[in-house]
Chains A and B, each alone.
Chain A
């Protein structure tokens, strides 16, 4: 959807520079009121330890010492369980909140910086927009705020609306939009000024399977235009499909970062054997060995841990008259990695 004509190969920075660079990024939220202990101390000019414990300001360390880089042209996935600090990181990136320590740079400039913002598109998490505006008016406003030329605006808005599948809702006020439609118009406004970096906070949430595919395709399309994309998500299969690199954040700390195939160990974690018309004897053997066996319909799924040789159970099954449907060695999935990291204390 980018205007290739209006912006002829506007990518002088073809070298893989760091588009995003976070160094020692920290954010601590103070929740609760003024620390009463401090006040008491100032008034009474004495330390009262019994107060100290009670009223220390409650703090939430949302992001701790986060350092990472995203290079030009990459699709970077920010993964992590709920409340792990993804949104907080992204908000710091967008200059909405300020780091307690450390810094974050986009295109080599510390944020917030207006020149940098001109090159960045952002989709907030669970977006809410001015609900009295119609879809086209809203994009018009977005474009004006981004300083997009009137002529370009007129061409780009219908094209973007079509790209996100909202052409039919053009005249509807955003108040009447469904959750998925809001997500789509949110994507459109993030792309209205043809940004070099696109920051998406959970772009896939609230979308139906078709919508998710659309958005995945859109993100891949952005990559083919040479854009850099960073997005957060819980939907691991989607991440697996489109990301070049991922970072896993747990409790505000970066646990893992790298290419997916580097992060996931190639080691076989399990072998799944699927059988049909299985006699009880095979089931007994599985139980004896302590392998998980799950009967579903007339199919039995047996999971052999690690690199256990499936030969033994296969022989037994064939001898006793069962039919072998499949034998699949399973390597670690992103889900396994995610769960492993999230569970680590």
Chain B
């Protein structure tokens, strides 16, 4: 365990030195602050808009950061040949992967924390402050980031970082439309049963990111403005996320286990 933590700690240290992360964080903060101006222009209650936009910003940039980490961090280790140092040490390749993943998770937690702090400060300026429902939303967002991270990590074990990055983004978009896919499949509107089964299959195989989508009234199933947004639901979504992450890490491990590190 100490070895995994050592690797995780070192990974966190490396990502914390990465300038790209700070640039992304800056953009996220700008977007959250920008929601204030939008709030002023809005006809609706500005707080609702700030909440929606702020959560969307955290979710969007969290997603970008997660994909970026997933496709670059382990790849860099291979590219810069630091694996020659780490793999011959008395540890399993699984431990290496888990350590890297844990380190990236820690990075994401820090990033989300920073973004949320800015978000809460803005809300407080409007006298709205933090609330349990927002906390639930952030937990869901974090869970979603971790799932994307594991997906990006797996894809980067199959192909180069750039392609893996684009594929991850594509999967994210598809995953967010999972609800739509399922409805389309069951409604029979496609009029083509093969298409229906394909959509249904995609619904089960692709990560169901719709589960985690919280911001805005546009989403039918959950919304921070709705009242059916319970801890039970959050737990269910996190459980689903944990399962998906486990599968992704398992598949990545299968790829890494006998891979020639040249």
Contact = CB atoms under 8 A, between A and B. Distances in A.
Contact of A132 (B3, B14, B86, B92): B14
A118 B81 CA distance: 21
B261 interface: yes
Interface stretch (A42-50, A76-84, A91-99, A275-283): A91-99
B73 to A, nearest CB: 12
A120 B85 CA distance: 12
B85 A127 contact: yes
Q: Is chain A's binding surface mostly helix, strand, loop or mixed?
A: loop
Given A117-B89, A145-B90, A124 B3 contact: no
Contact of B10 (A97, A120, A141, A189): A141
A122 interface: yes
Contacts of A130: 10, 14, 82
Q: Is chain B's binding surface mostly helix, strand, loop or mixed?
A: loop
Given A96-B83, A132-B13, A145 B89 contact: yes
Given A97-B261, A98-B258, A128-B82, A142 B87 contact: no
B262 interface: yes
B91 interface: yes
A114 interface: yes
A124 B17 CA distance: 25
B58 interface: no
Interface string B235-262: 0000000000000000000000010111
In this complex, the interface size class of chain A, counting residues with CB under 8 Å from chain B, is 20 to 34
A97 B260 contact: yes
A124 B87 contact: no
A141 B7 CA distance: 8
B6 interface: yes
A120 B91 CA distance: 12
A95 B87 contact: yes
B13 A96 contact: no
A287 interface: no
Contact of A146 (B13, B84, B89, B261): B89
A142 B82 CA distance: 12
A142 B14 CA distance: 16
Contacts of A124: 81, 84-85
A147 B90 contact: yes
A98 B260 CA distance: 6
A271 B88 CA distance: 48
Interface residues of B, number: 25
Contacts of B86: 145
A154 interface: no
B90 A117 contact: yes
A129 interface: yes
Nearest to A125: B84
Given A96-B88, A130-B14, A145 B3 contact: yes
B80 interface: yes
Given A97-B262, A114-B92, A141-B10, A128 B81 contact: yes
A94 B91 contact: no
Interface in A128-161: 128-130, 132-133, 141-142, 144-147
Contact of B87 (A96, A115, A128, A129): A96
Contacts of A29: 262
B82 A129 contact: yes
A85 to B, nearest CB: 13
A117 B88 contact: yes
B171 to A, nearest CB: 25
A200 to B, nearest CB: 12
A57 B111 CA distance: 46
Interface in A27-57: 29
B82 A144 contact: no
Instruction: Pick the most buried of A91, A132, A145: most chain B CB atoms within 10 A of its CB.
Output: A145
Contacts of B89: 117, 142, 145-146
A27 B77 CA distance: 23
Given A129-B82, A130-B82, A96 B260 contact: yes
A105 to B, nearest CB: 16
10 contacts: A91-B261, A94-B84, A95-B87, A96-B261, A114-B92, A117-B91, A128-B82, A132-B14, A141-B10, A146-B90
Interface of A: 29, 91, 94-98, 114-115, 117-118, 120, 122, 124, 127-130, 132-133, 141-142, 144-147, 189, 193
Given A127-B81, A130-B14, 17 more contacts: A91-B84, A96-B261, A98-B260, A114-B92, A117-B89, A117-B91, A122-B88, A128-B81, A128-B82, A132-B17, A133-B10, A133-B13, A142-B89, A144-B6, A145-B89, A147-B90, A193-B90
